[in-house]
Chain A
Amino acid sequence: MSSEFARDDVPPLTEAIQPGTATDPTVGSTDAATLTVDGHEVTLEAGATLLDAVTAVDTNEDVPALCSYDREDNIGPRSECRTCMVKTDEHGLVPSCSFPAEDGLNVRTDAVAATEARDVNLDLVLSNHNLRCTTCGKNGRCELQDAAIANDVAEPRYGVLDNRGAYEPIDDSSSFIQIDRNKCILCNRCVEACNDVQVEGVLRLEGNGQDTRIGFQNDAETMADSTCVSCGHCVTVCPTGSLVETGIVDAATLPVPGFTQKNSIGRSIEPSDENTELMTPMKQDDWSEKDGQTSTEAATESESEDWP
């Protein structure tokens, strides 16, 4: 790829960060707006999306909006799961989480096409999700589980990810954070928490199609070989049991004899040696090679000045 159309005003600290995701435009309305959702009138400030309107009223149908995250401005909307589709007279079906709240819109959550789109898309998410809730540490506090229950999903129309040959091993190589990609819904919250909030530049989205997955910007295969500092922000934003703190991976599993979180998947990557430092070994190397050494030299110089 060649590019001679570059810009030179990239903000500091972020120029080396490559999250692998698109640079979305600024979503949300440009002005305050009054609109109706299922007949209820709502008035919203500038910057609002249709999902803000939907959550402000008692809608006729449940809108899961599974991948959306409303607790931090720097995260989302990713608008990937499309379980937030609503119908508008003016624009047809739109994803409410990323569509601006335009003045005068007539929004319906109960239009047949909108309900069908949300249901089918939720089932499509489930089709690629390992649904072994009983051995999952997030059982009972999982946003996907909540959405499935709220939508009365009894039997997902496309089944669930239940092919042991297709499972990715659980990455248990880090002392602090475990990754089970078989439960990942690719909402991208963790990547944004890592890059846009913590500015750590560890996680990224990689691959395309069925191979799309959460990976590491230093091309590492395991969490232990990544440059993770174990801040844990990714764990706090993960909607499912995909990113869990190592100590509580079994916290919410049901006591079914013979079944554990690990043998439900079958394979896992274990830590190669005892590593109880907060930083991964890669981050420690990174630290001592660059900043560590430089700061030691600087300290020696200042020491000789301060202490004649």
Chain B
Amino acid sequence: MAEHILSESVVLRIAESTPEQEVLKAVASATSIPVVKVGTTGYPVLEPLVLLTKNGQTAFYTSCSPEEAAEIATTLDNGNLRIEDADAIVEHPPERPYLPVPDLWPLQTGARTVLRRCGWLRPTHPEDYRISGGFETVDSDTDTVMSAAHSVTGRGWGDAMTNTPVGTSWNRSIDADGDPAVVVNAHGSPGDRLLLESVPFLPLEGALAAAQAVDASDIIVYLSEADEQALECVTATVENLPTTDTMVHVVTGPDEYRAAEPTMALEAIEGSQRLEARLRPPTPDIEGVYSRPTLIHTPRTLAQIVHAASGASPTRIVTVRGDVQHEATIEIPEDGSLATARTAVTVDGVFKGACVGGQFGGLTPDLDIAPTPNALDAADLGTEGIISILNEDRCLVAHVGEQSRFARDENCGRCVPCREGTVQLTKLLREVYDGSFRPDDIEELLRVMQSSSMCAFGRDATRPVATGLDHFEDEFVAHADGRCPTGTCTTEPQHEVPQ
């Protein structure tokens, strides 16, 4: 095997997310040509995906069984490309550093910038990453990196600078007393998991650049203990990072939604068994992990910083799930539309609306919205990068009720508006089933939870209900009258609500 994968003139790439790696094993034993495991493209619908590259041509074989893949490999061993069976063929320069995108749904959807190496490079091989233009930011001057940081806003609720330019945070850390640290918060988000599994050097390059900019001596990669593949991948990657003055640690936290909150991430990193939010201000970039000034960014944010430093336009990584046949993670330009994300999936049934922004996303009947913080905020939608498609069989009153109950059961228990507010909110929603729909009382509670909760958990937990009332109030009224328009809720009055 050559030093990097791009110099191989004939190579078979296998992308499959199952841990058994059956296709990879079948192909490797069937041929003598190089076979490599690459990361997922973000589209499970295509997998197991076999890419056969020979003489500047790559054939795509989607949803391959181990037998089919072995047959392709055997034919190739005899000197032939089985072009007639391929789902797509694309021509490209021999040493193309990024996945050549064929006219193949859903790969051709959206833009591939941050994700362009996914499915093409071996995730943990530093030479593959370097030859594809990687690690340039590590050698860039600080001004370039700082100005990139000022142009990028934090992605996801696990980022301490959600929807705010991250450079501000870096300046605070530089000015603060103490030895700074950088936390890569990869807890819980599918977009971050994709980056860690398919192109882990990219967010780590961003973290190294950040550490150099603020003169941090430690980088801590933090992820859920449930993300075993990402953990394995990032641990191998850390060992292959270019040597710098920065130590890189990998720490896992519990598989709980709240554990992604930036200050709860710090608690988990410090080894606390019970996680609860910390007070702010001062913000963690002034006093964070073990009281050190600490930057907390998601892999998506750090990847954007690397791309911004090279002059690329910002994009958004969005995972589409819910009532769809296959989940998909797609990249769309910031000046594009969330409607594009919908075209990357097959909706199960008839589209009714979507929950935009993850667990505590906002409901909308229309996805034609730019994926920018301003546009999403104006529509009271979340920027989490997760869209759940809801089909016409979904009862939205039940949907927001479930999200409210999740908030009631999963909050950290520290502040009253979140701990007690979610209890009362869930009760108010249950009372709708008993014929008592009190929108003014619900909205008063939502306002106070939003304005006085300690962290984003309690603030965001209001969003599903608030947007549900905005767009689908008639469904609440119908339930109060004893009718569920979709027929999913029982029409029997509920008597479980304690007074």
Contacts and interface: CB of A to CB of B under 8 A. Distances in A.
A2 interface: yes
Contacts of B263: 22
A3 B271 contact: yes
A209 B447 contact: no
Interface stretch (B120-128, B381-389, B411-419, B482-490): B411-419
A3 B221 CA distance: 11
Contact of B276 (A3, A22, A85, A124): A22
A210 B276 CA distance: 14
Contacts of A212: 413-414, 419
Contacts of B288: 25
B234 to A, nearest CB: 13
B269 to A, nearest CB: 6
A125 to B, nearest CB: 6
B279 A125 contact: no
B409 interface: yes
Contacts of B417: 82, 117, 120-121, 124
A80 B277 contact: no
Contact of B280 (A7, A20, A25, A205): A25
Contact of B286 (A7, A25, A207): A25
A5 B289 CA distance: 10
A98 B434 CA distance: 40
B122 to A, nearest CB: 25
A191 to B, nearest CB: 11
Interface in A114-133: 116-117, 120-121, 124-125, 127-128
Given A25-B291, A79-B415, A125-B420, A1 B274 contact: no
B447 A113 contact: yes
Interface string B249-273: 1111110001000011001111111
Contacts of B250: 4
Contacts of B93: none
Grouping DSSP codes into helix (H, G, I), strand (E, B) and loop, the B interface class, with mixed when no group exceeds half, is mixed
B139 interface: no
Interface in A172-219: 186, 205-212
A210 B411 CA distance: 9
A120 B250 CA distance: 42
A5 B282 contact: no
Contacts of A44: none
Interface stretch (B9-17, B39-47, B367-375, B448-456): B448-456
Interface string B240-253: 00000000011111
A6 interface: yes
Interface string B442-464: 00110110011110000000000
A79 B274 contact: no
A6 B271 contact: yes
A165 B275 CA distance: 28
A121 to B, nearest CB: 5
B444 A208 contact: no
B290 interface: yes
A120 B449 CA distance: 9
Contact of B252 (A2, A21, A23): A2
Contacts of B454: 79-80, 82
B421 interface: yes
B441 interface: yes
A25 B274 contact: no
A105 to B, nearest CB: 13
Given A25-B278, A80-B416, A128-B423, A85 B451 contact: yes
B420 A128 contact: yes
A162 B499 CA distance: 8
B416 A163 contact: no
B452 A208 contact: no
Contacts of B445: 120
Contact of A2 (B251, B272, B416, B447): B251
A271 interface: no
Interface in A1-53: 1-7, 18, 20-27
Contacts of A93: 451-452
Contacts of A121: 416-417, 448, 452
A23 B413 contact: no
Given A1-B254, A5-B220, A18-B273, A113 B451 contact: yes
A81 interface: yes
A116 B252 contact: no
Contact of B267 (A22, A158, A209): A22
Contacts of B284: 25
Nearest to B453: A82
B408 interface: yes
Given A27-B279, A128-B420, A210-B408, A116 B249 contact: no
A104 interface: no
B424 A209 contact: no
B79 interface: no
Contacts of A100: 281-282
A277 to B, nearest CB: 31
A100 B281 CA distance: 8
B420 A127 contact: yes
A229 to B, nearest CB: 24
Nearest to A98: B279
Contacts of A25: 278-282, 284, 286-288, 291
A290 B280 CA distance: 40
Nearest to A2: B252
Given A5-B251, A120-B444, A159 B499 contact: yes
Contacts of A77: 279
A165 B447 CA distance: 31
Contacts of A206: 274
Contacts of A5: 218, 220, 249, 251, 269, 289
B474 interface: no
A137 B218 CA distance: 53
B430 to A, nearest CB: 13
A241 interface: no
Nearest to B441: A157
10 contacts: A1-B253, A22-B263, A79-B454, A82-B453, A113-B447, A116-B447, A117-B452, A127-B420, A205-B413, A210-B413
Given A4-B250, A24-B279, A210-B419, 5 more contacts: A21-B276, A25-B278, A113-B451, A120-B448, A158-B424
4 closest residue pairs by CB, A with B: A212-B413, A25-B287, A124-B420, A120-B448
